[in-house]
Amino acid sequence: MNEPAEIPLPDALREDLYEADALPEVAVLFDPAPEVLEAYALEPSVGVIAVVRGGAVGRRAALELGALEAISEDLEEEEARLRLRIAIERWISRLELEQDREHLAAQTSTLERNLRLAARLQRSFLPVSLPTLDAVQFSTAFLPQEFVSGDSYEIRRLDRRYVAIYTLDAVGHGVRAALLTVLLRAHFEPLGRDGAPRDPAEVLADLNQALLDAHLEDSPTAAFCYGLLDTERGSMRLANAGHPPPLALLPDGRREYLGGSGLLLGVDAIPYSSDEVQLDPGTRVFFFTDGADVGYDEGFAAQLELHRDLELEDQVGGALGAVITLDDEGRPEDDITVVALSYVGATAPADAGARED
C-alpha cells in the first residue's frame, strides 16, 4: 500500500487500511487512476478499497468505476472505519458464496455423471433382447422417473419349455430404490439345484427372506410379481407380493386380473402362495408396476382394451401415452414398467432332457 502524504488519515484508520491491504482478497489503492480501477474491476478475486480526494464526488466516481468502498478525508473516523469493515466483510462473504456455488456445481456435475453411469449399469441388467418363441410374443416398456429407477423386470427363458417373467417395484425412488432392485435381482433364483423351475411362491419367499436378512436401514420394501410360463401347456403359475395383479385380455373380449396378492417383500417372514392360470390362444397378459395405473382407477386397463386391435408393442405404447403425463424433460410422475405377452398357442413338447439357457 503506497500512501501519499497529502491525504491525511487518522492513525486508527491507517492501521485498518494496512490490515485490509494485507488480505489476499483486498487491495487498498490511494488516488487510483480510472483505468487502474477499471482493470481491478475485471479481476473477480480481488476487491479494491479506494482512498480518494474530492469528498463525496471523488467517492462516487471511484464506486462507479468498481471500487468496493471509497474513503476520503472528509469522512469522520468512525464512519470511515465502519464503511471499510462492512465492505471487506461483504466482499469476503461474496467470494466464499461464489466458491461454495462453484464447489456445489462441481459436485452436482459429478453426481449427475455418476447417476448417468448408474442408469446405464441398471439398464445393462435388463434383458438385451426378448425371447423369440413360437408360442408367445413379448413386448416391454421401461420409463424411469429419475436417472435410476426403483422398477425392474426380467424375461428369462429357463429351458425349451419354461419362461420366467417378473416385474419389480421397490418402494421409493432414486438411488436407494435402484440399489434395492439390484439386491433382489441378485437373489432371484428361478431354478432349483436339479435345474428344474422352482414354484414362484418359493422364489418369492426366498426373496423376502433375503431382504429381511439384509437388515437395511429403514426396512425397505418392494412389490414383486413373478410368473412362470409353461409354453407347452399354455399355463402360468403366479406369485405376487403386493404388486398390481397381471391383467389378461381374453380372446372373447373380456378382461380379468390374474391371481391373488400377498404382503410386500421385506415386511415379515411369511409364506407366499401360487396361482395357476390357463391361457387360451389369443390371450394377452400385462404385468405392470403401479406407475402405469395412475390413481389406481384402471385407466391403463381401459386403454389397453381400446388399443387391443394393435400389435402388442403399439398397444402398450398407445395405452401408456393415454394415461401418463410427462414433465418438460420427458419423465413420468412415477417409475413405469410394463411387460406384455401375447399367447399364440402351445408348442409341441420338447425332449425331456432338452434345456436352453
Domains of the chain, by residue range, sit at 11-100, 129-343
CA-to-CA separations, 52 to 38, 62, 317, in angstroms, rounded = 15, 8, 72
CA distance 251 to 247: 13
User: Do residues 310 and 318 lie in contact, with contact meaning Cβ atoms separated by under 8 Å?
Assistant: yes
Nearest-5° Cα angle at 288, 179 to 151: 10
Cα torsion 149, 136, 249, 300 to 10°: value is 20
Strand 69-72 and strand 47-52: the pairing is parallel
Residue-level pLDDT at 62: 93
User: Do residues 41 and 66 lie in contact, with contact meaning Cβ atoms separated by under 8 Å?
Assistant: yes
pTM above 0.85, yes or no: no
Q: At what angle do helices 77-125 and 11-21 cross, to 10 degrees?
A: 20
Q: At what angle do helices 299-306 and 312-323 cross, to 10 degrees?
A: 140
Tell me the CATH number for domain 129-343. 3.60.40.10
Fold that domain 11-100 belongs to in CATH: Rossmann fold (3.40.50)
Residue-level pLDDT at 49: 94
What averages of pLDDT result for each successive group of 10 residues across the chain (357 residues)?
68 92 93 91 90 92 93 92 94 92 83 74 81 93 87 94 96 84 94 96 97 90 97 96 96 93 94 96 96 83 95 96 85 91 77 43
CA-to-CA separations, 198 to 76, 115, 164, 186, in angstroms, rounded = 90, 35, 10, 16
For residue 191, the one-letter residue type is: L
Task: Count how many Cα atoms sit within 13 Å of the Cα of residue 144 in the half-sphere of its side chain.
Answer: 24
CA distance 245 to 256: 10
| Per-residue pLDDT tens digits for 310-338 | 999 999 999 999 998 888 777 888 899 99
